[in-house]
Amino acid sequence: MSKKTILICLAAIAVLLIAVAAAVAVLYSGVGNDGRSSLDDSRYELVPAVPADAVAVLRFDSLDDMVSLLHGTPSVAPFVSPDPSAPFARFVSSLGLMAAEGGLPLHSSQTVVSSHSIGSLVPLVIIDAGRSGSSGSEDAVLLAAVADSAGLYSEIVDCKDILSSDSWLSRRTLLLLSPSEDLVKSSRRHISRKVSVLDSEGFVQAAISSDGRNIMLLCTKEADKLSKEIFSGRYRKYSDFISDAADWMAFSFYSADAGHIYLKGSLPVPGGEEKFLSVFGSLQGAVPQVSSMLPSYTVFAASLPLSDPAAYVENYRHFKDASSGTAGLLSESKSLEKSTGVSPDDWYAALDVKEVAVASFYVGSSLENVLLVRTGKADESILLKGTGAGSVDECAAQVRTYLFKGYAGVNFGSMFSVPDESCFAIVNGWIVSGSAAGVGEYVSGRALENTLGQYMQDAGLPDRMSMKNRCFVSYFSASESSAFLKEVFTGQYAQAFENSLESVTYEPITFSIEKTKDGLQFYAEMDRTTVTKSKAPVFERDTVINIPKGPFRVKNSGTGRMNLFYQQDNMYLCLQEEDGKGLWGAPFSTPICGRAGTIDYFANGKLQILFASGSKLYLIDRLGRFVKPFPIDLKKNILLGPDIYDFNGSRKYNVMVLHDDNTIDMYNLQGEKPAEWKGITAEETIKGLPEPVKVGGKTFWVVRTSLQTLIFPFYGGESLVKATGDKMIRSDSKVVPEGNGSVSVTCYDGKQRTLKL
């Protein structure tokens, strides 16, 4: 098993568990009846109707429960179908409306939703429509009509007509629904042949292990095909961890509401050493402590707490030997020992390793990866070897060259390696290794000024990275970086994550493995919350300014319709209809500055498009012709803008721009600043253009910086906000006008304050 970092793999599992409809995408060919074990469990009475090629099965006590999870839970609904116009998404939405009105047919009927790979993920819904002979029931017919109107295929099947045996299913009528007519027919055919997903190796064992009522079962054997649906190019390769874990895994929904989803599953430790989970077979769990060493802005993290590192290393090598052989591992070990004079075995023993972790976070616009190793009673001759330092304290004060790069990966798995492990520092008893930029976050103090554990606490959550008896924990923040979502996930799933973030500021997903006397317990949790209290930042961290690339919606005064204005990679400026029909393209040579809007420059009802590039304002009409006397040179490079204002409705336009010297200025369309203008700037990085807020009949400017929110008078000058520390206004605070010329804001201490402007 070749894994670059386990954080991607395990976080991916967590994502899959939460993102129900995105669960898995792999075509499985059934193995026949001889592969089936007994499953005498009333929870799975509908499962014999699920075709053998299912790769995910969701079992619900009732149709009500299915609708509640797939439609009524904000953290799940975006994943049911990333395309809201798709037939299945429309069907679920229709059921949600019917449930809200109290008129959902068959609302108490047992329901199963399975997922199949037919080029892409395709769902099949199976609903118990009542006793045999009820195929014409009004409720089943009504639901079939709802499905048909949404674009699904449907069939009401009286199982006694196609089953000869005296089974529970032969006495029932089923409603089958799917976007694929072939899948509906396949289900009917599988029922008649008594072949189903029950024949898939490992399914019955996983089903028996679950103890809940609403259950999700995932086929993990060929997760590489799943990754094609969900992950973008370079992250697809990490799916091998999932396929090496087990054949099927079952999880029960213990909580599924707007703020929290909690899934729990169990599995006996696999008997064969070729399954990765066998590595944990003889180990005891421990309490991970890595959350105290992770910055609050961590995107990914994963940790392996080690109660017995020697036992883990031995088990891992047995797994490698059984799955792919240890020749490469032994060769790498010898090479490392030759280069440093210390063998990998002697290294981890000398350091008394207690925990190994990896983490990813942004430093500016660069995603950095670090490896963290918690040591016990370490042999300082090994710990400090090659550093030139005389003490551990000296290694905390600066970034130093790391001698033992690759050692953690050899001992604990290549999952615990990072692309650049050239530097290190010793911080709070942990070895932090990685790139100079990544390690530098720790040496400077930025990384630990507000730890992930503290951030979770401030968000009103328990530290989900520090639970007892864990063999493994992982963390993924869906809310930390939209850029990272787009880098890791395919477009539709990245968008689904962004949609799930509506009305919340923090969406962590955690996954952990607990060792119990009966085997392994798995936990996956997603929280959705708005953080109103956190430690006020001292260091600037998020200094990257988002420059939108468009397209920008602009009104076409000739047609009255909205058009899309955008810039191609070759710098051409283009206008097209919202349906994609191109209108024109005009040559241009430099990037535009993230804004475009329309003005009536000649005050004759004809609109032109105003935008900026370099230090100049440009105007182009609806036919793609540049308008004179533009361009207008503002004499300073524009980073972002312009935002356009017509303060008195007289078409005497002003614009606001953010310059590349961290200043905001107001100009008229002749490139002149108002005589009263005093300018806007800040000591820290200004993150975007100002937001106008009207208070007591006056306009003020709300400016977001990398540290806080500031408020300026209409003509700029000094900020009206002078708070420091925890009383600073949060950079994501709403600024709400109140009476008497005041605004309500949220500060870093979590308190709402009223400020008189």
Strand partners of residue 154: 177
Token pair for 396: 């905390």
76-88 b/e (C-beta count within 10 Å ≥ 16 → b):
bbbbbbbeeebbb
The number of C-alpha atoms within 13 Å of 312 and in the hemisphere containing its C-beta is 23
Q: Can you give the pLDDT at residue 486?
A: 82
Phi, psi of 691, rounded to the nearest 5 degrees: -105, 125
The CA distance from 203 to 5, in Å, is 28
Closest CA to 117 of 179, 70, 54, 177: 54
Name the residue among 618, 622, 611 with its Cα closest to residue 576: 622
Residue whose pair of structure tokens reads 């007509």 in the numeric block: 161
Q: What's the rounded Cα separation, in Å, for the pair 605 and 587?
A: 26
3-class state of residue 757 by DSSP: coil
Taking the C-alpha atoms of residue 15 and residue 20, their distance in angstroms, rounded to an integer, is 9
Answer yes or no: are the C-beta atoms of 191 and 163 closer than 8 Å.
yes
Every domain of the chain and the residues it spans: 25-256, 288-527, 552-756
- 200: tokens are 């898939």
Hey, what CATH topology would domain 552-756 get? Lipocalin (2.40.128)
CB neighbours (10 Å) of residue 133? 12
Contact 585, 636 (CB under 8 A): no
Inter-helix orientation angle 138-150/87-100, to 10°: 130
Six token digits for residue 274 = 């070729």
Straight-line distance from the first to the last Cα atom of the chain, in angstroms, rounded to the nearest whole number: 61
Query: Residue 346: is it exposed, middle or buried by C-beta count within 10 angstroms (0-12/13-18/19+)?
Result: middle
> Do 313 and 326 contact (CB within 8 A), yes or no?
no
Q: Could you list the beta-strand ranges (E) of 647-751.
A: 654-659, 663-668, 680-681, 691-695, 698-704, 709-712, 736-738, 742-746
Handedness of CA 474, 477, 480, 482 (dihedral sign): positive
* CB-based contact 286:294 (threshold 8 Å): no
- In this structure, are residues 464 and 509 in contact, taking their beta carbons and an 8 Å threshold? no
Q: What region does 449 belong to: left with phi over 0, alpha with psi -120 to 50, or beta? A: alpha
Q: How far apart are CA 47 and CA 40, in angstroms?
A: 12
CA gap 412, 435 in Å, rounded: 20
Predicted pLDDT at 303: 94
**Tokens found for residue 357:** 């972790």
- Name the residue among 483, 468, 565, 572 with its Cα closest to residue 523: 468
566, β-bridge pairs: 574
Residues in the chain: 757
How much is the pLDDT for 202? 84
For 316, phi then psi, to 5°, come to: -65, -40
Q: 3-class DSSP state for residue 419?
A: coil
What pLDDT was estimated at residue 271? 62
Please tell me the predicted confidence (pLDDT) of residue 682. Answer: 97
User: How confident is the model at residue 11, as a pLDDT?
Assistant: 38
Output the pLDDT for position 627.
Answer: 97
Type and span of the H or E element at 4: none
How far apart (Å, rounded) are the C-alpha atoms in residues 422 and 434?
6
Pick from 220, 257, 233: nearest CA to 71: 257
Q: In the chain, which residues have pLDDT < 50?
A: 1-37
Specify the pLDDT at position 19.
Answer: 37
pLDDT of residue 251: 86
Among 712, 721, 723, 673, residue whose Cα is nearest residue 689 = 712
Give the SS3 label for residue 516. strand
Torsion (CA) 571, 577, 583, 588 in degrees, nearest 10: -20
pLDDT of residue 711: 98
Residue type, 282: S
Phi, psi values for residue 227, rounded to 5°: -65, -25
Per-residue pLDDT at 8: 34
Q: Single out the residue of 478, 476, 468 nearest to residue 511, CA to CA.
A: 476
Helix segments in 285-326, DSSP class H: 309-323
How wide is the angle at C-alpha 371 spanned by C-alphas 370 and 373, nearest 5°?
Answer: 145
Task: Note whether 25 and 229 are within 8 A (CB).
Answer: yes
* Span 611-625, pLDDT tens digits: 999 999 999 999 999
Among residues 225, 219, 193, the alpha carbon closest in space to that of 205 is found at 219
**Phi, psi (5° rounding) for residue 69?**
-75, -50
Q: What is the pLDDT of residue 280?
A: 83
Say what the pLDDT of residue 381 is: 93
pLDDT value at position 586? 97
Q: Which amino acid is at 571?
A: M
What is residue 441's three-state secondary structure? helix
Distance between CA atoms of residues 633 and 615, nearest Å: 6
Is residue 340 within 8 Å of residue 406, measured between CB atoms?
Answer: no
